[in-house]
Amino acid sequence: MKDSCEKQLTEFREKLSTQNRTKNLNLDDKLLLRFLRSRDGDVSESMSTLLAYIDIIDKRSDLFSWSEDIKKVVNSGVYVQYPERTSDGCVVSLVTPSKWNPSDYSYSIYIKLVIFMIEMSLLDEEVQKNGFIVVIDMSGIRWTHIYHTGVSDAKLFSDLTERILPRKLVSLHFVNANKLQDAGLMLFRPFMTSSTKKIMHFHGKDYSTLHSFVSPNLLPESLGGSAKDYPTSMYNQLLEKHKEEVMQIWDQFRKIKN
């Protein structure tokens, strides 16, 4: 395994040296391994992801920066990443879109929070290796949520979370959907990768099927689980603790000339 990683790193560095945007970058092995792990060691895919990552940081620097309004998203409870991991070492993210009030913050601010949370989790090498499980509770979604998301932000979010950020998505689960919530999903579906569509699971209101993928101790009571209800202040403290470390990674890629 070690020899394989070294071979992949060597090949990755060789590819970096042939690109104008990356040949002068002094990226350490830890950061390169993050991209390799996210694409299961495929050097070409890792390179494509890295180049897309550089591009988006340049084009949307507003999303790759800290702002205090990120905490509004945390406080709303719309996006949670539990500290506990699955038996396979995966991070479990719970998304509850109905907790978003569009008059409190924009969907772009939500995207910023998701980026920060993912990047913060990826500081842990075990998370890089084992990946993320995402559970989306569709109950309570209204037309206002769909309207204030829009097609362009739906595409941006899908691109970021599936193609650009160096994370490994293990599985994606939808619960409590009805026809209106299905319309919300249709906003994103055209932009989803084929690999993401293969790992999507729909559970309706049958939480027992969800529990076959995610242990109930990692799910809230509303989904038949017994996960500890952590205060939002804990998540805000974690973000404050790691925000400089995350931004230092992004700063390496700013103002790279083509």
Considering 59, 78, 102, which residue would you say is the last residue of a domain? Answer: 59
User: Who's near 43: CB < 8 A, 6+ residues apart?
Assistant: 8, 11, 12, 15, 36
Structure pTM?
0.92
What is each CA distance from 175 to 5, 216, 248, in whole angstroms? 38, 14, 37
CATH number of the domain enclosing 26: 1.10.8
Amino acid 148: pLDDT: 86
When divided into structural domains, the chain yields a total of 2
**Parts of the chain with a pLDDT under 70:** 1-3, 179-182, 184, 255-258
76 and 171 together in one domain: yes
Q: Could you tell me if 24 and 97 lie in one domain? A: no
**Domain's final residue, options 32, 59, 86:** 59
Q: In the sheet where 91-95 sits, what is the strand order? A: 79-85, 91-95, 132-137, 169-175, 200-204
Q: What is the pLDDT of residues 206-244, one digit of tens each?
A: 899 999 999 999 999 999 999 988 999 999 999 999 999
The pLDDT of residue 20 is 84
Give residue 97's pLDDT: 92
Tens of pLDDT along 90-115? Answer: 999 999 999 999 999 999 999 999 99
Q: Which tokens hold the place of 143? A: 């037309």
Longest dimension (CA), the chain: 53
Nearest CA-CA partner of 172 in 203, 199, 211, 212: 199
Query: Same domain, yes or no, for 55 and 85?
Result: no
Say yes or no: 83 and 188 in one domain.
yes
Are residue 21 and residue 94 in the same domain, yes or no? no
> Which domain, by its residues, includes 19?
2-59
What pLDDT score was predicted for residue 21?
83
pLDDT of 179 reads 66
